[in-house]
Amino acid sequence: MIRQLILFFFVLTSCNISQDKFLVTNIGKAQGTYYNIKYVSNSNIDYQNKIDSILNKIDQSLSIYDSTSLISQLNEDNFVKADMYLIDVYNVANKVYLETDGYFDCSSFPIINEWGFYKNKKNEYVDSLKIIKLLNYVGFNKVKLDTNSISFPDNYSVDFNSLAQGYTVDIIGQFLRSKNINNYLIELGGELLAKGKNINSKNWVVGVEKPNEKIDFTDRFQFIVSLENKSLATSGSYRNYIEKDSIKYSHIINPKTGFPTLNTLLSVTVIHEDCIYADAYATAFMAMGLEKTLDFISNRDDIDIFLIYSNDSKLETFSSDYFKKYILN
pLDDT tens track for 209-225: 776 656 555 666 788 99
Distance CA 92, CA 163 (A): 9
pLDDT tens track for 121-168: 555 567 889 999 999 999 999 999 999 999 999 999 999 999 999 999
Annotate 75-110 with b (16+ C-beta within 10 A) or e (fewer): beebebebeebbebbbebbbebbeebebbbbbbbbb
Q: How confident is the model at residue 313 (pLDDT cuts 50, 70, 90)?
A: confident
pLDDT for 236:
79
pLDDT for 315:
85
pLDDT for 20:
80
Highest mean pLDDT: which of 4-18, 65-79, 306-320?
65-79
Query: Residue 40 burial by CB count (10 A; 0-12/13-18/19+): exposed, middle or buried?
Result: buried
Mean pLDDT of 3-14: 41
Provide the residue ranges of all domains of the chain, joining segments of one domain with +. 9-325
Mean pLDDT of 221-238: 87
Is the model's pLDDT at 4 over the cut of 90?
Answer: no
pLDDT for 167:
98
pLDDT for 221:
72
- Domain 9-325 belongs to what architecture? Roll (3.10)
pLDDT tens track for 246-300: 445 556 889 999 988 777 888 899 999 999 999 999 999 999 999 999 999 999 9
What pTM did the predictor assign?
Answer: 0.89
Distance CA 36, CA 207 (A): 14
pLDDT tens track for 9-38: 444 444 445 568 899 999 999 998 899 999
- Which is higher by pLDDT, 243 or 39? 39
pLDDT for 121:
54
Q: Look at the alpha carbons of 221, 223, 228, 234 in this order and tell me if their dihedral is positive or negative.
A: negative
CB under 8 Å to 46, separation ≥6 — which residues?
24, 26
Q: How confident is the model at residue 73 (pLDDT cuts 50, 70, 90)?
A: very high
